[in-house]
Amino acid sequence: MIYITRKEHFNAAHKLHNPNWTDEKNLEVFGKCSNPNWHGHNYELFVTVKGEINPSTGYAANLKDISAIVRKHVIDKIDHKNLNLDVDFMKNIMASTENLAMEIWKQLEMPINTLGCQLHCIKVYETENNFVEYYG
């Protein structure tokens, strides 16, 4: 079993805001991340896949195929978008890095299986100082 990881980027706006709370409560919990006019990030997404090596190619999976799946199911939907307003799979969910990683997993688990390998980890960097990992 071997693990291969592909890194992709997306730039998006978001805010953290719980509509059931007052503005004061939101500010207290989320601080400047609750700015009503949004802020944004250069997100980095690491998709790790595990499988066995095909001796004809030396690949566990072709990175071109992994990249095409990630672009179709994730990047094209969230790059240069507003995570709270524009992204179908983030509707009605707090736009935290934790939720983003979990929802990206759901988008990719099935399509990655079609390559004959398995999704192992979704890692999302929000800034260079904080990131989230989800293993399903």
Chain residues binding a copy of itself by CB under 8 A are: 1-9, 11-14, 16, 18, 20, 29-33, 35, 37-42, 48, 53, 55-60, 62-64, 79-82, 85-86, 93-99, 101-102, 127-135
Minimal distance, residue 22 CB to a copy of itself, in Å: 13
The dihedrals phi and psi of 71, each to the nearest 5 degrees, come to -65, -45
126 catalytic? Reply is yes
Distance set, CA 100 to CA 58, 59, 123, 127 (Å)? 32, 29, 10, 14
Q: How far is 51 from 75, CA to CA, in rounded Å?
A: 23
Q: What tokens appear for 19 in the block?
A: 């509509």
44 catalytic? Reply is no
Catalytic one among 33, 41, 44, 120? 33
Q: How far is 82 from 84, CA to CA, in rounded Å?
A: 6
Catalytic one among 9, 28, 52, 80? 80
Nearer to a copy of itself, 33 or 111 (CB): 33
Alpha-carbon dihedral sign for residues 79, 128, 37, 106: positive
Catalytic residues: 33, 80, 126
